Structure 1
Amino acid sequence: MPATEVPKAVVKTGPGYGWKVKCTESYYVWGDESDEGLELESSGDICLLQRYRYSTFANRDTPPPYPTDLKGLLQTEVALRENTQREIALKEKIEELAKEDTYATVVQDLQEELSTLSKEYWTLERRWWEIRSSYCDGPLARGIEFWRSQPKWYMHRVLVEDCVGRGGCCGRDCGCCSHRQSERKFAVGHCTVECSCCERARGFALDPEQKSQLRETFKLDCNRPRAWYYDRMRTASLLGLMAGNYENPLNLIVDVPPRYTAPSEESQGSKWKNYLRGSSR
Structure 2
Amino acid sequence: MRIPGVDVRFAIIRIASTAALFTAWEWYGSQPGQFALPPPSKVFPALVESIVDGGLVQAAIGTLWVGAVGFSIAAVLGVTLGLVIANVSWADNTLTPLVNAAYAAPITMLVPIIGIYTGLGFTGKVTLVVLFAFFVILINTEAGVRQVREDLVETARSFEASRIQIARHVMLPSTMPFILNGLRLGVGRAVRGAIVAELLLLVSNLGLFLIRAGATFNMPRLMAGIFFTMLMGYAVMWFAGYLERRSLRWRGEATY
TM-score under structure 2 normalisation?
0.34
TM-score under structure 1 normalisation?
0.31
Instruction: Say which structure is richer in helix.
Output: 2
